Amino acid sequence: MGRKDDTDSIRRKAGLATPMALRVAVTLELPDRLLGDGASVDELAVELTVAPVALELLLGHLATLGVVERTATGYRTTEYGANLCADANNGLTDLLHLDAAGGRAEMAFIELAHSIATGQAAYPRRYGQDFWADLAEYPHLRESFDRQMVHRFREQIPQIVAGFDWSRFSAIVDVGGGQGSVLAAILTAHPRMHGHLVELKPTATQARCTFSAHNLDERTHVTASSFFDPLPAGAEAYLLVDILHDWDDEHAHRILSRCVEAAHPAGRVLVIEPVGGLRAASEFNLAMLVMYGGRERQIAEFRALASPHGLVLDTVTDLTDQRCLLEFKLAADQ
Ligand SMILES: C[S@@+](CC[C@H](N)C(=O)[O-])C[C@H]1O[C@@H](n2cnc3c(N)ncnc32)[C@H](O)[C@@H]1O
């Protein structure tokens, strides 16, 4: 009997019908369309220009999952299913919508075998170019990715600000700083500190708006450029928040080398990430591989990555239940 339970459990974990049904439901906005009294399958099929019989099969499975329920005339969204509505403000639609950056990127898991065989990202194999090139080409993917990035840190930023002694630095460069929400929070808590954010367009433009909204125009600079190019020079700290795990070793070396060549001799490189073996979830670790050819490196791997650049790991701080801060100093600054 135990074996049968195991088999069932494995089948449930491996089945693709449920994850795909949820993703297609979000992409067709079914939870939004079926709020309130709901709709009949035929009405909905006409509205969406989809096949009614197939739509009924999808709704049937969504009913099994508790996302919708049957009514006398069709289906309506349940309270549970309302979590999948666009305005639920829980980040789920950007993660699941097949034409949002996150939802689209997860579909690269179909090519996981390629990543395992080669150690490389699956995303370019599926979509013909890498994730960042797609974001540059399709503004709606960039918008949804930036939204996802801001959302993921909503609850963690206070811990990031409180969990480390940022007051030691008078100037920080946030390398690949996204829309600037982390740097804005650090600077707001430390009124004498200055910040310089480096990001690709159009996210860099949004970072300027974030800083203005926090009355930080006087203490911030934003440079719209690549972190593979020279970085603003002379700062005491170069911050990399969820950057290195997006890249294979070759690219991670290039980023670190830009930080070190720009840093003040007593400067620090601060890496905030889910460190492998400490704070990284195995599922997320695989996602980094499939999407970017990256991974959640372990402490020893970070040391090995940093060492050729003259960087020595000084401290490891637990910041949140998901992320650590690794502080590297330059070997010359002993
Ligand atoms: C995972 S996000 C993290 C963003 C931000 N540090 C945060 O924690 O919210 C990675 C960021 O790296 C940026 N990025 C990717 N390639 C870049 C490049 N070549 N130069 C500068 N930024 C880049 C992306 O635009 C994205 O905002």
pLDDT of residue 2: 72
Q: Write the residue with the smallest CA distance to atom 12 of ligand 1.
A: 176
Assess contact for 327 and 315: CB atoms under 8 A: yes
Q: How far apart are CA 330 and CA 327, in angstroms?
A: 10
Q: With a 6 A CB cut-off, is 81 part of the ligand 1 pocket?
A: no
Q: Write the residue with the smallest CA distance to atom 20 of ligand 1.
A: 226
Q: Where are the domains of the chain?
A: 2-88, 92-151, 154-279+292-330
Question: pLDDT by residue for the chain (334 residues), tens digit each?
Answer: 578 899 999 999 999 999 999 999 999 999 999 999 999 999 999 999 999 999 999 999 999 999 999 999 999 999 999 999 999 999 999 999 999 999 999 999 999 999 999 999 999 999 999 999 999 999 999 999 999 999 999 999 999 999 999 999 999 999 999 999 999 999 999 999 999 999 999 999 999 999 999 999 999 999 999 999 999 999 999 999 999 999 999 999 999 999 999 999 999 999 999 998 877 789 999 999 999 999 999 999 999 999 999 999 999 999 999 999 999 999 876 5
Of 97, 190, 196, 245, which residue is the catalytic one?
A: 245
Q: With a 6 A CB cut-off, is 228 part of the ligand 1 pocket?
A: yes
Find the 48 Cα to ligand 1 centroid distance in Å.
36
Q: With a 6 A CB cut-off, is 80 part of the ligand 1 pocket?
A: no
* CATH number for the domain running over 154-279+292-330: 3.40.50.150
Assess contact for 86 and 93: CB atoms under 8 A: yes
Amino acid (1-letter code) at residue 312? V
* CATH number for the domain running over 92-151: 1.10.287.1350
Indicate if the alpha-carbon torsion angle 151, 237, 226, 209 is positive or negative: positive
| Strand partners for 331 | none
Widest CA span of the chain, in angstroms?
Answer: 75
| Strand partners for 241 | 272
Find the 175 Cα to ligand 1 centroid distance in Å.
7
Domain pair 92-151 / 154-279+292-330, same fold: no
Assess contact for 145 and 133: CB atoms under 8 A: no
Task: Return phi, psi of residue 273, to 5°.
Answer: -160, 165
Q: Tokens in use for 15?
A: 């089945």
Whether 245 is catalytic:
yes
The verdict on domain 2-88 having CATH code 3.40.50.700 is no
Indicate if the alpha-carbon torsion angle 273, 277, 280, 286 is positive or negative: positive
Ligand 1: residue of 149, 186, 291 to mutate (most ligand atoms within 8 A of CB) is 149
